[in-house]
Structure 1
Amino acid sequence: MTDAHSVRTFYDELADDYHLLYGDWDAGIQRQGAALDRVLRAELGDHPQRIWDCACGIGTQAIGLAAAGHRVIGTDLSPNAAARAGTEARSRGLAMPTAAADMRHLPVTPGEFDAVVCADNSLAHLLTPEDIASALLTMRAALRNDGLLLLSMRAYDEIRAQHPSATPPQVTQTTRGRVISFQLWHWREDGERYDLEHFQLHPADDTSKTDNWTVRTRRTTSWALTQAQVTTAVAAAGFQHINWLSPGDSGFFQPLLVASAP
Structure 2
Amino acid sequence: MNESTMAFYDELAENYHLIFADWHQVISRQGETLDTVIQSKFPASAADRLSLLDCSCGIGTQAIGLAQRGYNVSATDISAESVQRAEKEAHAYGLNIKFGVADFRSLDQDVAGLFDVVLSADNAIPHLLTDSELYLACQNFHAKLNQNGLLLVTIRDYDALAKEHPSVTQPRLFDEGKRVVFQFWDWAADGKSYSVNQFIVQEMNGEWTTKHYKTEYRALLREELNIALSAAGLTEIEWHFPAATGYYQPILTARKY
State the TM-score bracket (shorter-chain normalisation): over 0.9
Aligned to 1:227: 222
Q: Deviations over 1:234-257 (max 9, x none)?
A: 111110000000112223211000
Root-mean-square deviation over aligned CA pairs: 1.5
* 8 Å Cα contact 2:27/2:62 also seen in 1: yes
Give the letter for the 1:243 counterpart.
E
Aligned to 2:128: 126
DSSP-derived class of the 1:130 partner: helix
What percent of counterpart residues are identical?
Answer: 39
Q: Deviations over 1:203-258 (max 9, x none)?
A: 24xx2x4xx41111111100011111111111111100000001122232110001
Q: What is the deviation of 1:93?
A: 0.9
**Matches of 2:39 and 2:110, distance apart in 1:** 24
Give the letter for the 1:198 counterpart.
Q
Aligned to 2:82: 81
DSSP-derived class of the 1:238 partner: coil
* TM-score normalised per structure 2: 0.94
Of the three residues 18, 43, 47, the one matched with 2:16 is: 18
Q: What is the deviation of 1:109?
A: 6.3
Q: Deviations over 1:29-69 (max 9, x none)?
A: 11111111111111122313100000000111111000000
Give the letter for the 1:89 counterpart.
A
Aligned to 1:197: 197
Number of matched residues? Answer: 253
Aligned to 1:28: 26
1:39-54 correspondence runs (5 A): 39-46=37-44, 47-48=47-48, 49-54=50-55
Of the three residues 244, 258, 261, the one matched with 2:256 is: 261
**Matches of 1:160 and 1:27, distance apart in 2:** 31
The runs of at least 4 consecutive aligned structure 1 residues that moved more than 4 Å come to 108-111
**Matches of 1:226 and 1:81, distance apart in 2:** 27
Aligned to 1:143: 145
Q: Deviations over 1:143-187 (max 9, x none)?
A: 01110000011011111111000111122228xx72211111110
Of the three residues 226, 243, 250, the one matched with 1:248 is: 243
**Matches of 2:110 and 2:203, distance apart in 1:** 44
* Cα gap change, 1:110 to 1:9, in 2 (>3 Å): closer
**Matches of 1:62 and 1:248, distance apart in 2:** 23
* 8 Å Cα contact 2:105/2:136 also seen in 1: yes
* Cα gap change, 1:9 to 1:109, in 2 (>3 Å): closer
**Matches of 1:111 and 1:79, distance apart in 2:** 21
Q: What is the deviation of 1:195?
A: 1.0
Q: What is the deviation of 1:12?
A: 0.7
**Matches of 2:239 and 2:129, distance apart in 1:** 22
1:55-66 correspondence runs (5 A): 55-66=56-67
* 8 Å Cα contact 2:17/2:23 also seen in 1: yes
Question: Where do 5+ consecutive residues of structure 2 fail to align?
Answer: none
Question: Where do 5+ consecutive residues of structure 1 fail to align?
Answer: none
Aligned to 1:92: 93
**Matches of 2:238 and 2:110, distance apart in 1:** 25
